[in-house]
């Protein structure tokens, strides 16, 4: 695999472009905004989404979807709620032999579809993989060490993608559990908002640790109900991503939760940002999916109530604390 196409020139898409180029690949990145493509091509910097990181001169940007799909592998790095639209737009141009790497973390609102289910529906002939794990875009772009999971049901395709994208400082561990990997990446964003609310309300580190641990249990229950393997969540795409996202203010979802915990309205928080906090939409999707699957997910439900329905934070927290106490198991 020599040429990599990347759809989505946000912070993570741009960081992955830097990564792929450092791995020796030729890279082209698609940007929705013409000004972003122009900045990447002319100034070698994505000033809107990843300011301060100078990009290798070899990276080229385009706004033409029909051009960026002429590659050996294609990475989809768009917000989860736009993945279906993007897949539909590239379907007429994408060769069915080209593997697709899903880098979006979320669950589609309305349908409750995981990202791989969307790709299977619209691009049924293309092999696909899911890339997920504990990473911050700026750190990966600066070539700081990181490790992730690449889940692909076809071990051979997964190995080729791992070899094409991995480096000594971006370690890729293979898995065949696509569903478990996806659930981990989606749910951790919701749990990160919950941890941010705890921080914003000054409820202490002990409360945050409890949220992370019980959030992992919700994650595992959802994974098992969807057909994933709960043990996958003991790895990078589960507990690894939770550990990072729930403890760092540079996390979009954690910082959003902090703002909500301090009493800001959601619309105020979102209006001040250019990047997407996936956990807001995913909270609603996960809450609905858990109800459909008859899975107990009280933390995700509480985040949805606060973030999307304006529920009172204190009373919602009190309701969570009043729940009956069960067995201490990450899978129950």
Q: Could you tell me the CATH number of the domain that includes residue 133?
A: 3.40.50.720
- Look at residue 329 and tell me if it is in a domain: no
The CATH number given to whatever domain includes residue 244 is 1.10.1040.10
Number of domains in the chain: 2
Do 77 and 171 fall into the same domain? yes
Active site (annotated) includes residue 188 = yes
Do 108 and 157 fall into the same domain? yes
Do 231 and 312 fall into the same domain? yes
Strand order in the sheet with 73-76: 60-62, 26-30, 3-7, 73-76, 100-102, 128-132, 146-151, 170-175
Q: How far apart are CA 75 and CA 4, in angstroms?
A: 7
Q: Which helix (H) or strand (E) holds 12?
A: helix 11-22
Per-residue pLDDT of the chain (332 residues; tens, 9 = 90+): 899 999 999 999 999 999 999 999 999 999 999 999 999 999 999 999 999 999 999 999 999 999 999 999 999 999 999 999 999 999 999 999 999 999 999 999 999 999 999 999 999 999 999 999 999 999 999 999 999 999 999 999 999 999 999 999 999 999 999 999 999 999 999 999 999 999 999 999 999 999 999 999 999 999 999 999 989 999 999 999 999 999 999 999 999 999 999 999 888 888 887 776 788 999 999 999 999 999 999 999 999 999 999 999 999 999 999 998 877 766 66
Q: Which runs of E-coded beta strand occur in 110-210?
A: 128-132, 146-151, 170-175
Residue 57 exposed, middle or buried by CB count within 10 Å (0-12, 13-18, 19+): exposed
Task: Return the pLDDT at 246.
Answer: 96
Do 222 and 143 fall into the same domain? no
From the list 105, 160, 188, 226, the catalytic residue is 188
Q: At 55, list the tokens.
A: 């990009």
Range of the domain at 16: 3-176
Would you mind telling me the total number of residues written for the chain in this entry?
Answer: 332
What phi and psi values does residue 107 have, to the nearest 5 degrees? -130, 130
CB 282 within 8 A of CB 106: yes
Of 176, 207, 232, the position where a domain reaches its end is: 176
Do 169 and 317 fall into the same domain? no
Helix (H, G, I), strand (E, B) or coil at 146: strand
Do 134 and 197 fall into the same domain? no
Of 125, 146, 176, the position where a domain reaches its end is: 176
Q: How far apart are CA 274 and CA 253, in angstroms?
A: 13
Task: Return the pLDDT at 77.
Answer: 98
């Amino acid at each position: 695999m020599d040429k990599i196409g990347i759809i989505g020139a946000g912070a993570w898409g741009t960081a992955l472009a830097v990564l792929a180029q450092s791995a020796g690949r030729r890279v082209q990145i698609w940007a929705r905004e013409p000004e972003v493509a122009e900045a990447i091509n002319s100034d070698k910097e994505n000033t809107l989404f990843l300011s301060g990181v100078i990009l290798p001169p070899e990276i080229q940007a385009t706004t033409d979807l029909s051009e960026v799909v002429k590659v050996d592998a294609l990475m989809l790095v768009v917000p989860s709620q736009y993945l279906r639209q993007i897949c539909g737009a590239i379907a007429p141009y994408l060769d069915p032999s080209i593997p697709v790497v899903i880098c979006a973390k979320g669950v589609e609102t309305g349908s409750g579809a995981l990202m791989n289910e969307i790709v299977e529906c619209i691009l049924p002939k293309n092999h696909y993989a899911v890339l997920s794990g504990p990473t911050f875009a700026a750190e990966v772009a600066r070539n700081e060490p990181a490790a992730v999971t690449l889940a692909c049901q076809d071990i051979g395709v997964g190995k080729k993608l791992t070899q094409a994208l991995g480096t000594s400082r971006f370690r890729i561990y293979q898995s065949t559990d696509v569903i478990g990997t996806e659930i981990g990446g989606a749910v951790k964003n919701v749990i990160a908002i919950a941890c941010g609310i705890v921080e914003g309300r000054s409820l202490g580190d002990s409360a945050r640790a409890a949220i992370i641990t019980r959030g992992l249990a919700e994650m595992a229950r959802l994974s098992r109900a969807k057909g994933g393997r709960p043990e996958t969540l003991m790895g990078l795409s589960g507990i690894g991503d939770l550990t990072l996202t729930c403890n760092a203010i540079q996390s979009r979802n954690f910082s959003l939760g902090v703002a909500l915990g301090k009493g800001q309205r959601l619309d105020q928080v979102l209006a001040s940002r250019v990047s997407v906090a996936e956990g807001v939409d995913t909270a609603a999707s996960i809450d609905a999916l858990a109800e459909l699957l008859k899975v107990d997910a009280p933390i995700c439900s509480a985040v949805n109530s606060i973030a999307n329905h304006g529920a009172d934070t204190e009373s919602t927290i009190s309701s969570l604390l009043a729940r009956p106490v069960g067995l201490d198991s990450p899978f129950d």
